[in-house]
């Protein structure tokens, strides 16, 4: 049985993303994959009869819409462009080649150097997404160091990692801005071109000989886009196979292409050397007008824009073929061309070599770094992100302290009078809980704000989902929730004048901390499920309001219909309110003067009995246990939702 293996040997010029077939005496065995040095013939990526369909409404009825229709292609070392109008299937084809498409509705085969794609091929190839996916609060160098720490094998020393980072910085021309923060909406950072190069650098850390890019010039001005594409061209000269989708490049960029794959409505209308594409279109009756940009000309032909195309054949009227439906004719013309014949020969040779291999089996490529290493690096990045973002730290803590002072002044040194003692304490508890619950709604953005970064990095093999989840949860709960809550509890407890007892203060603090954790865990669960912050905020607000209603304070639970009463067991407010009331009121006496000038008293215990609150020791702690169980359950839901999130980009 043959295996796919990835060598961990680190030598100068080693590529961590290149597959080569080794010889008979290879340490990996005959026919296995190992790492090869760059600068050779490069990796060959080929696709054979790729068909991709998605479920969609067609003329008002659900059916299968064809995105890619029997696509074949061979992409060698160099600049390989996938070009076509909007909706032609460029990104879909790129994702199929990069093993980033769901298998549902997908057929055909993609080969790497004539071998089936290894499972988790995306872990050892580079993929630069269209949108920026670098952490804006980190510097260019820190982002590259993060990639190096997680994506290089563990036997690579710190010195070698540092050298690799410096090599990438120099290779991408980022030396002058290496220690500048990338930038966020609040932090001024590097330029658009430098940001794009940083994205590319995150992938170049592993020196992949296969690099995929989705619309690398999107959002860049013409000059910056030209510079980025020339950079990629230089990288391709070193043996890398660079495959990218692009919409409408300028001529100076088009000249850099080695191979061109033209798509129209999911069909191939040309595949071959880029400098031969104009000859092909000329041969089927279309001439590119002088001074017209070839990529613009190709799109005009595909879209049937007669104003920019002249017919060479006098039998063809101006503007014919026209309309997008005529892309089928363009496909037919390509299938009859020498370029299609050559493609079939090359693809056939590759598949024949594959069929000669007997017993070949795909093997899963494992992560190059351990779980603890991933957890450590993610935690370091999360801490840096918190420290460098004042809107996440200073404002959160300042708001908590300010609000605690306001609450303390409103309920300052409550007395034990019969008229107001119990009422004011119950009101204070409800107010305290409400602030702890609603005050942590900022946690709703935790997995939404970095969603694109998480999807890309987890898909590219930076880390496991579990490592990301634990690092983000711990680094959010401790500095953002725990520390401010301790300040809040300390200030409010002594300003309000609750029991002067260390044990009571401990239970008070623990209860509000558990309340904070449960509210935050609910925010995590919704944040990992919903991708739009506005919808997530609406959902969590609705949950909080329902919990308030079923807390037992605003409405008597016993008066509700039996089919609604069970909702009380899902209320954070109920458990927290009961725990704080038991902790404070049990054993207290509240006295006051009657109209006859006599003194009458009542106990806090009798109030608890009237409210149906179990004030025994277990009655107190069962509320804390319930909050703890809710926290764990909601965190598990959040983790499951992160696992279910599509990570193919």
At CA 88, angle to CA 85 and CA 93, rounded to 5? 125
Identify whether the C-beta of residue 366 lies closer than 8 Å to the C-beta of residue 154.
no
At CA 141, angle to CA 200 and CA 442, rounded to 5? 90
List pLDDT tens digits, range 428-439: 999 999 989 988
Please give the model's pTM, rounded to 2 decimal places: 0.80
Q: Is residue 307's pLDDT more than 60?
A: no
Q: For residues 9 and 533, what is the distance between their CA atoms, to the nearest angstrom?
A: 44
pLDDT mean across residues, the chain: 83
List pLDDT tens digits, range 243-270: 999 988 999 999 999 999 999 989 999 9
Q: Is residue 349's pLDDT more than 50?
A: yes
Q: Which two tokens stand for residue 472?
A: 């983000």
Q: CB 200: neighbour CB atoms within 10 A?
A: 21
Q: Is residue 185's pLDDT more than 90?
A: no
Total residues found in the chain within this entry? 649
Give the E-state strand segments of 61-183 in sequence order.
61-75, 78-83, 106-112, 115-116, 126-128
Give the pLDDT score at 364: 53
List pLDDT tens digits, range 359-415: 445 555 678 888 999 999 999 999 888 888 777 677 878 888 898 999 999 999 888
List pLDDT tens digits, range 551-582: 888 877 777 788 888 888 899 999 999 999 99
Split at pLDDT 50, 70, 90, the class of 74 is very high
Identify whether the C-beta of residue 110 lies closer than 8 Å to the C-beta of residue 117.
yes
Split at pLDDT 50, 70, 90, the class of 469 is very high
Q: Is residue 326's pLDDT more than 90?
A: no
Identify whether the C-beta of residue 547 lies closer than 8 Å to the C-beta of residue 570.
yes
Identify whether the C-beta of residue 138 lies closer than 8 Å to the C-beta of residue 385.
yes
Identify whether the C-beta of residue 500 lies closer than 8 Å to the C-beta of residue 418.
no
User: What are the phi and psi torsion angles at 80 (to 5°)?
Assistant: -110, 110
List pLDDT tens digits, range 471-496: 999 988 888 889 889 999 999 999 99
List pLDDT tens digits, range 592-608: 876 767 778 888 888 88
Look at the alpha carbons of 568, 569, 572, 573 in this order and tell me if their dihedral is positive or negative. positive
Task: Report domain extents, the chain.
Answer: 371-644
Q: How far is CA 44 from the centre of its chain?
A: 29
User: What are the phi and psi torsion angles at 214 (to 5°)?
Assistant: -100, 110
Split at pLDDT 50, 70, 90, the class of 306 is low
Give the pLDDT score at 354: 67
Split at pLDDT 50, 70, 90, the class of 450 is confident
Identify whether the C-beta of residue 50 lies closer than 8 Å to the C-beta of residue 105.
no
Please write down the HEC assignment for all residues of 249-261. CCHHHHCCCCEEE
Q: Is residue 521's pLDDT more than 70?
A: yes
Q: What is the percentage of the chain residues whose pLDDT exceeds 90?
A: 39
User: What are the phi and psi torsion angles at 381 (to 5°)?
Assistant: -65, -40
Q: For residues 411 and 403, what is the distance between their CA atoms, to the nearest angstrom?
A: 12
What's the whole-number mean pLDDT along residues 216-228?
Answer: 87
Q: Is residue 532's pLDDT more than 50?
A: yes
């Amino acid at each position: 049985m043959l295996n796919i293996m990835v060598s961990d040997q680190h030598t100068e010029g080693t590529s961590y993303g290149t597959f080569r077939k080794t010889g008979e005496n290879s340490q990996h065995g005959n026919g296995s994959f190992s790492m090869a040095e760059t600068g050779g013939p490069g990796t060959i990526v080929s696709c054979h009869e790729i068909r991709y369909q998605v479920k969609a409404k067609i003329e008002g009825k659900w059916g299968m819409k064809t995105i890619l229709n029997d696509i074949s292609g061979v992409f060698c070392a160099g600049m390989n462009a996938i070009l076509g109008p909007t909706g032609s299937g460029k990104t879909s084809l790129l994702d199929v080649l990069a093993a980033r498409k769901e298998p549902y509705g997908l057929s055909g085969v993609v080969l790497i150097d004539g071998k089936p794609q290894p499972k988790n091929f995306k872990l050892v190839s580079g993929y630069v997404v269209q949108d920026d996916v670098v952490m804006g609060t980190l510097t260019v160098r820190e982002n590259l160091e993060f990639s190096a720490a997680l994506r290089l094998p563990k036997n690579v020393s710190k010195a070698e990692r540092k050298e690799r980072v410096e090599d990438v910085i120099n290779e991408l021309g980022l030396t002058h801005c290496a220690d500048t923060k990338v930038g966020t909406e609040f932090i001024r950072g590097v330029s658009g071109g430098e940001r794009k190069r940083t994205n590319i650098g995150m992938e170049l850390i592993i020196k992949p000989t296969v690099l995929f890019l989705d619309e690398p010039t999107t959002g860049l001005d013409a000059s910056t886009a030209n510079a980025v594409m020339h950079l990629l061209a230089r990288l391709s000269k070193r043996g890398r196979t660079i495959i990218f989708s692009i919409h409408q490049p300028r001529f100076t960029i088009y000249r850099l292409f080695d191979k061109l794959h033209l798509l129209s409505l999911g069909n191939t209308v040309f595949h071959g050397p880029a400098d031969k594409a104009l000859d092909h279109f000329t041969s089927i009756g279309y001439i590119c007008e002088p001074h017209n940009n070839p990529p613009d000309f190709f799109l005009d032909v595909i879209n049937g824009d007669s104003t920019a195309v002249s017919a060479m054949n006098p039998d063809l009227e101006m503007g014919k073929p026209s309309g997008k439906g005529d892309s089928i004719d363009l496909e037919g013309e390509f299938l009859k061309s020498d370029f299609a014949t050559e493609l079939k020969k090359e693809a056939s040779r590759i598949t024949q070599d594959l069929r000669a291999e007997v017993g070949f089996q795909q093997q899963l490529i494992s992560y190059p770094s351990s779980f603890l290493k991933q957890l450590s690096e993610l935690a370091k990045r999360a801490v840096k992100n918190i420290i460098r973002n004042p809107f996440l730290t200073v404002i959160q803590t300042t708001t908590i302290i300010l609000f605690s002072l306001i609450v303390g002044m409103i309920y300052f040194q409550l007395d034990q009078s019969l008229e107001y003692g119990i009422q004011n304490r119950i009101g204070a508890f409800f107010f305290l809980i409400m602030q702890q619950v609603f005050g942590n709604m900022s946690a709703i953005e935790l997995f939404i704000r970095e969603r694109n970064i998480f999807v890309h990095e987890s898909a590219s093999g930076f880390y496991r989902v579990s490592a990301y989840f634990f690092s983000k949860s711990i680094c959010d709960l401790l500095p953002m929730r725990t520390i401010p809550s301790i300040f809040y509890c300390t200030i409010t407890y002594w300003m309000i004048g609750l029991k002067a007892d260390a044990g009571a203060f401990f239970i008070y603090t623990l209860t509000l901390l558990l309340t904070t954790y449960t509210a935050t865990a609910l925010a995590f669960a919704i944040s990992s499920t919903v991708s739009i912050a506005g919808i997530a905020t609406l959902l969590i607000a609705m949950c909080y309001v329902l919990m308030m209603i079923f807390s037992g304070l605003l409405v008597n639970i016993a008066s509700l219909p039996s089919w609604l009463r069970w909702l009380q067991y899902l209320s954070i407010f109920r458990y927290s309110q009961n725990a704080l009331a038991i902790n404070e009121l049990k054993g207290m006496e509240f006295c006051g003067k009657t109209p006859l000038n006599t003194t009458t008293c009542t106990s806090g215990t009798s109030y608890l009995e009237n409210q149906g609150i179990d004030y025994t020791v277990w009655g107190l702690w069962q509320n804390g246990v319930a909050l703890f169980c809710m926290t764990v359950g909601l965190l598990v839901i959040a983790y499951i939702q992160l696992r279910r999130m599509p990570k193919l980009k």
